[in-house]
Amino acid sequence: MTGDTHYDLETLAELAEGLLDDATAQQVRDHLAICDPCGEALADLAGVREVLAAMPVPAMPLGVALRVDKALAAEAERRRAGAPLDPGPAFPEPDWDRIMRDAPWETGAPWEEPAAAGERVADLPPLESPRLVPLAATASAGEASLDGTPVAGAPGPAKVNGSHRPEAPADEEPGTVVPLLASAKRLDGPSADERPQTAPEAASADDAAAKRPALGVVAEDGSIVAPKRRTGSARRRWLVSLSSVAAAAAVVTGGVTVTNTVLAGGEQTPVQQTVAAPSASAPAERTEPTQETLSADVDGQQERGSRFVIGESGYNYADAELKANLVAYFGSMPSGGSASGDAKLNRCISKLVAAEKSDPIGIDRAYYNGNEALIMLFWHNRSQDLVKVRVVSPECKNLRKPGLATWN
Amino acid sequence: MNPQADNRTSPAGHVARSALSDADLLHRHINGDPQAFSELVRRHRDRMWAVALRTLGDADEAADAVQDAFVSAYRKAESFRGEAAVTTWLHRIVVNACLDRMRRKAVRPVADDELIEAAERDTPLPDHTGDREVSLEVSAALRLLPPDQRAALVLVDMMGYSVEDAAAVLEVPSGTVKSRCARGRAKLVPILSHLRNRSERARVSSAKGARLRDG
């Protein structure tokens, strides 16, 4: 190769690294012997190595070193509290078939009784409908996911109720399983004030499956997971919060009218539903698996994570909003009291809380540029109404550089 | 060995610890010595920082990556099996933390002229020459390389590790490291020479300006 034709830099670089086969290498060397530009290019490549090697080695800045120390101290604290060195990815799904083995519906109690309002909810629909006004939905999202849960069963109040929650806010095992004799209508889309107020309305929208009475399990996400009879484990999504379990815990009044009060952002939204009378075969011995059965592995971190109220607006945030005033988006969230039973979520929240060294002023499970995201706000400067915005993926990785927004 | 009996606070204990090998420290950490991991961090943090900063080209990102990496190493110390040097293992965790971060970011432009434009945007025109300026140019140029090539160049050309060590850190064959380095250097040549020429022009013109001004 002579004249105007030259080898490209990549080939020359490969020659220098001994990556070319012998024949090609020889050709290139022959060319180099007569071609000045290629010789210069080869020298330039060597120059790049020198420039890179001459870059000064920076020492870790003190601030970063302190930050690392602090993070490791938090780890050490966690370890002292009994957490294993490697907690693993794992909060393995409980062995549902074993846990539920003795549940009446698993033993084949017939259930062809009529039901009124009821919809089998086996899975949460994806949060793909961004709402224009997330604030209406944020605070109540968890609760609203199982709204106005009618609970038909043995007379008397259901065993589960809101008071279940405070005792065990840190139940991180997916599945505070609360078997209920329940017909459930899960309302995902509309915000609190748009909810159908009565069951017949709700039922009218239901499909044929709705007519099926649901002996269900309230999964952690508050949905009623219809038991699969003698089949494998159902697909379940472990989402949302224990508070939805609380919301699911409705008062049972002999099976006619159920009033369930959903606390949404401080407002009380009574939802009334008419439900069917319980069937004769409804087993009286409803069981309520305790945390013990579910072997909740609680440690301090999870406890921290589960302290916070987690909104679930499903809103698709973009950078513009996350730099602007966020009160409208987060301001309506109640402060404290709710809990999340999602272990992964809690770990992530704890991690961010540890990193930010302060409690969040708002948490929203939503979207960022179309990706599922957890948005957390921390005070940056209270007097200037500045909040720090962290946006992380469900895997708890930053989706966006931490930034500042206003809060006024 | 009872870690509690290890004279955590006494100077003797400190001396003993600093005389330990990395592997011993990691072993002690696994067995509950609360200070052992800190000593490991003290030993290696500057190098880990250098790797992260150069690989990511951004101090904030690097700080996040290094912190994540050390916490991760703390937790999964037990997974260290001793088949590699502790430093290799630590480097691997840091580099992987950086690569994860980079891969999540938007795709960079790839055409050479786009690369150069981007490098110009990223590098403020310096008002005087110096190490800092070169270092800015280099990190701007590095940022334009694909993550794999960047990581290889950081380890081999910048940190001065052997191709074999870099291969162990990156868990790829040596040949792959060499080829990533070669391709990365080939891309850097035009970018760096462009930036250098630009600085050169800026210096010449500002010198002219000074002469005019000062008469």
Instruction: Please list the pLDDT of chain A residue by residue as tens digits (408 residues).
Output: 445 588 999 999 999 999 999 999 999 999 999 999 999 999 999 999 999 999 888 889 999 999 999 999 998 888 887 766 554 444 444 455 555 555 544 444 444 444 444 444 444 444 443 334 333 333 333 333 333 333 343 344 434 443 444 444 444 444 434 444 433 344 444 444 444 444 444 444 444 444 444 454 454 555 545 544 444 333 333 344 444 444 444 344 334 444 444 444 444 444 444 444 444 444 444 444 433 333 334 444 444 445 677 777 777 788 877 887 777 777 655 444 345 567 888 888 888 888 888 888 888 888 888 788 888 888 888 777 888 889 988 888 888 888 888 877
Same domain, B85 and B113: no
Q: Which domain holds residue B30?
A: 13-106
**pLDDT over threshold 80, residue B10:** no
Q: For residue range A138-176, what is the model confidence (pLDDT) as tens digits?
A: 333 333 333 333 334 334 443 444 344 444 444 444 443
Average pLDDT over residues B35-53: 92
In CATH, what number is assigned to the domain containing residue B140?
1.10.10.10
d(CA A346, CA A342): 6
Token digits of residue A172: 């991180």
Nearest CA distance, A360 vs chain B (angstrom): 19
Same domain, B143 and B212: yes
Same domain, B170 and B85: no
In CATH, what number is assigned to the domain containing residue B28?
1.10.1740.10
B45 inside 8 A of chain A by CB: yes
Nearest CA distance, B95 vs chain A (angstrom): 16
Do residues A366 and A314 lie in contact, with contact meaning Cβ atoms separated by under 8 Å? yes
B6 falls within a domain: no
B61 falls within a domain: yes
Same domain, B87 and B154: no
B76 inside 8 A of chain A by CB: yes
Do residues A113 and A153 lie in contact, with contact meaning Cβ atoms separated by under 8 Å? no
Q: Distances in Å between the alpha carbon of B143 and those of B54, B101, B109, B138, B199? A: 9, 13, 11, 8, 19
* CB < 8 Å to A59, chain B: 46, 49
Q: End-to-end alpha-carbon separation of chain A, Å?
A: 70
Of B80, B106, B132, which one is at a domain's C-terminal end? B106
Do residues A141 and A240 lie in contact, with contact meaning Cβ atoms separated by under 8 Å? yes
Measure CB to CB from residue A49 to each of B77, B157, B190 and give the nearest one. B157
Same domain, B129 and B100: no
B32 falls within a domain: yes
Same domain, B152 and B200: yes
Instruction: List the single residue in B with minimal CA-CA distance to A59.
Output: B46
Yes or no, beta carbons of B34 and A76 under 8 Å apart: yes
B173 inside 8 A of chain A by CB: no
Same domain, B166 and B70: no
B67 falls within a domain: yes
Q: How many Cβ atoms are within 10 Å of B173's Cβ, its own excluded? A: 11
Of B50, B84, B106, which one is at a domain's C-terminal end? B106
**pLDDT over threshold 70, residue B193:** yes
What are the backbone angles phi and psi of residue A141, rounded to the nearest 5°? Answer: -55, -50
Mutate to test the interface with B, among A8, A12, A28, A64 (most CBs of B within 10 A): A64
Instruction: List the single residue in B with minimal CA-CA distance to A54.
Output: B158
Measure CB to CB from residue A85 to each of B66, B78, B178 and give the nearest one. B78
A94-124 burial, b for 16+ CB within 10 Å, e for fewer? bebeebbeebbbbeeeebebebbbbbbbbeb
B110 inside 8 A of chain A by CB: no
Total domains in chain B come to 2
**pLDDT over threshold 60, residue B38:** yes
* CB < 8 Å to B186, chain A: 8-10, 12-13, 45
What is residue A200's predicted lDDT score, i.e. its pLDDT? 44
Of B49, B83, B106, which one is at a domain's C-terminal end? B106
Q: How many Cβ atoms are within 10 Å of A61's Cβ, its own excluded? A: 14
d(CA B63, CA B81): 27
Q: How many Cβ atoms are within 10 Å of B201's Cβ, its own excluded? A: 11
pTM greater than 0.90:
no
Measure CB to CB from residue B160 to each of A8, A41, A53 and give the nearest one. A53
Beta-strand relationship, A257-264 and A362-368: unpaired
- Looking at per-residue pLDDT, the higher value among B213 and A346 belongs to A346
What are the backbone angles phi and psi of residue A119, rounded to the nearest 5°? Answer: -150, 130
Of A364, A383, A292, A308, which is closest to residue A341 (Cα–Cα)?
Answer: A308
B7 falls within a domain: no
Same domain, B85 and B51: yes
Measure CB to CB from residue A45 to each of B48, B71, B185 and give the nearest one. B185
Do residues A264 and A140 lie in contact, with contact meaning Cβ atoms separated by under 8 Å? yes
Strand order in the sheet with A178-181: A178-181, A215-218, A224-225
B1 falls within a domain: no
* CB < 8 Å to A12, chain B: 186
Q: State whether residue A373 is helix, strand or coil.
A: strand
Same domain, B113 and B213: yes
Q: For residue range B69-111, what is the model confidence (pLDDT) as tens digits?
A: 999 999 888 878 776 788 899 999 999 999 998 887 654 545 5
pLDDT bracket for residue B53 (50, 70, 90): very high
Mutate to test the interface with A, among B53, B78, B189 (most CBs of A within 10 A): B189
B73 falls within a domain: yes
Same domain, B65 and B117: no
Nearest CA distance, A55 vs chain B (angstrom): 6
Same domain, B71 and B128: no
B177 inside 8 A of chain A by CB: no
Same domain, B28 and B125: no
B4 falls within a domain: no
